[in-house]
Copies of this chain bind each other. A is one copy, B any other.
Amino acid sequence: MEEKEISQAVVGRLPRYFRYLGELKDEGIERVSSQELSDIMQVTASQIRQDLNNFGGFGQQGYGYNVGFLYDEIGKILGLHREHNLIIVGAGHLGQALFNYMNFERRGFIFRGIFDNDPQVCGRKIRGVMVRPMDEMESFVRENDIDIAVLTIPKASAVEVAEQLVGCGIKGIWNFAHVDLRVPDRIQVENVHLSDSLMKLSYNLSSRACEK
């Protein structure tokens, strides 16, 4: 398929299409119109057509979309047809929670290792995998073809660890540390700033309260 530059706003909506199409597929539904998809997803049908047109469009006039085909194609676009090797840096509560979440593995995101700088934590096993000390991280990344690192460490150490990861060839960072990483453009960073999300909720509660 021909690839063109598409906006991050569209990219951000693709996983949601993928999720809804997966549910339709599980229900045995074979085809869906943009209007039906619009009703289920509560976005406009024209938005749906526009978004999917970025990838050449999969719909046919008068037929709609083939659910299974569209699901597979979006999966491929999202890179889910290949496996990713991940490590988690930071074996605290959040790191362990992510490591234990099996749905990621079902989608091809395989956690190969977990690292921590606390000697009390190193050597413990999580899902049968031993927590390794930080000084083994760089060689592990190189030797195990790791492409994504998940950072679940405090902000104070995140910047330095990100630099180490870039140095040993990581391609993407899923960053839960509450800091903006400065890495070369070739490295993809996806931030999950939980505090920001909670503050946004707090704002919406406050502004709603003012309206009363």
Contacts and interface: CB of A to CB of B under 8 A. Distances in A.
A97 B104 contact: no
Category for how many chain A residues contact B: 35 or more
Contacts of A188: 201, 204-205, 208
> Chain A interface mostly helix, strand, loop or mixed?
helix
Interface string A169-194: 00110100010100000101010111
Contacts of A104: 195, 198
A197 interface: yes
Most B CB within 10 A of own CB, among A12, A79, A193? A79
Contacts of A79: 199, 202-203, 205-207
B208 A80 contact: no
Interface of A: 3, 8, 11-12, 14-16, 18-19, 41-42, 77-80, 82, 84, 92-94, 96-98, 100-101, 103-104, 107, 109, 147-148, 171-172, 174, 178, 180, 186, 188, 190, 192-208, 210-211
